[in-house]
Amino acid sequence: MIVKEELLSKLRRYFSLNLYEARIWTALLSRGVSTAGELSDIGHVPRSRAYDVLESLEKKGYVVMKLGKPIKYIAVDPKEVVERVKKSIQVEANQNIDKLKELNNNEVITELDQLHKNGIEFIDASDLSGAIKGKHNLYAHLETLIKNAEKSVTLVTTEKGLIRKVEALKPVLQKLNKKGVTIRVAAPLSKESLNAVKELKSVAEVKDSGDLNARFCVVDGKDLMFMLMHDEEVHPTYDVGVWVNTPFFASALENMFNLAWKDLEPASKKLKL
C-alpha cells in the first residue's frame, strides 16, 4: 500500500499523530482487520515499534484489539474517530480552562504579576517593542493591545483583514464601545466585506481607505502595531508585525491619519447601507 505523503501530513496535523501512528492507521484502514506484523510491513514501520504504536492508537480510540490469537486489530470507522477526537479535545480543553481559572484566586498569578511589575520598572521605554511572527500570534497580540484601550483604537487594514478582524475581535470591540472608547476602522470596501461592515457599524466608525494601503493599529495614541507586508503577498505563517510602545511616533502617525480620515468615504455611502 502506498499512501501519499500529503495525506500522511494532513492526518498528522488534524489528528495530532506522529508519523508511525499515521502510517499504521492508514495501513489498518486499507485492510480492515490485520496483525501487527502485517501492518508493520504495509506501513513501513519497524516491527519493534508496531505494538507500541497500535497500543497508542487503541488508547486514542482509533483501533480495537480483536479477541483471539493471533492478535489482530480492527479499524474504527474514520467518522467515529473524528467524533471521538472532537470529544477528547473538548474534554481536555475544558480541563485546562478550569486549571487556568483557578489561577485567578491563586498566589501563583499574584507572584507572577508582581515579578512582571517589578521587571517593567527597569525597562527603558525604547525596549518596549518586539517583532511578532505568524498571523495567529499577530492577532493574539493585537487583541491584547486593543482590550486595554481607554480612549481610542485606530485600525487600518486590507479588505480580507477587515473580515478576519471582525471574526476575531468583535467581542473585544463591543466591550470597548460600551466603555466609550472611540473606534475607527479604515479598509478597502466592496460587496465582499459588506457583512463585516454591517457587523462593525454598531461599535465602530468604518470608512473606505481608498488609496491608503497599509496595515496598522494605534491604541490610545501610544501603542503602535504595524505589519510589514500585504496579507495577500505572504503566507499566514510568515506574516510579520512590529509592536512598539512609543507615544511620540504613535501619536504623530495618528495625527497624520486624522488628516486622511476626513477625506475618506464613509462605509454607509460607499456600500449604500
For the chain, 273 residues long, the average pLDDT of each consecutive 10-residue run is 80 90 92 91 92 92 86 90 88 86 73 64 55 91 92 95 93 94 95 93 93 93 93 90 89 92 91 79
CATH number, domain with residue 213? 3.30.870.10
Please indicate, yes or no, whether residues 40 and 163 belong to a single structural domain of this protein. no
Q: What residues pair up with 207 in beta bridges, in sequence order?
A: 186, 266
Per-residue pLDDT at 146: 94
- Provide the total of helices (H) and of strands (E) in the chain, helices listed first: 11, 11
The reply to whether 147 and 68 lie within a common domain is no
Q: Taking the CA atoms of the chain, what radius of gyration do you get in angstroms?
A: 26
Last residue of a domain, one of 23, 52, 80: 80
What's this model's pTM, rounded to 2 decimal places?
Answer: 0.60
Residue 112 lies in a domain: no
37, three cell numbers: 506484523
- Confirm if 192 and 221 have CB atoms less than 8 A apart: no
Q: Give residue 123's pLDDT.
A: 47
Q: Total structural domains in the chain?
A: 2
What pLDDT shows up at residue 153?
Answer: 96
Q: The domain containing residue 54 runs over which residues?
A: 5-80
Residue 160 identity (one-letter amino acid): K
In a domain, 123, yes or no: no
Three-state DSSP at 147 gives helix
Does residue 166 sit within a domain? yes
- Provide the b/e sequence for 155-165 (b: ≥16 CB within 10 Å): bbbbbbbbbbb
For residues 56 and 20, what is the distance between their CA atoms, to the nearest angstrom?
11
pLDDT of residue 88: 86
Query: Among 50, 80, 110, where does a domain finish?
Result: 80
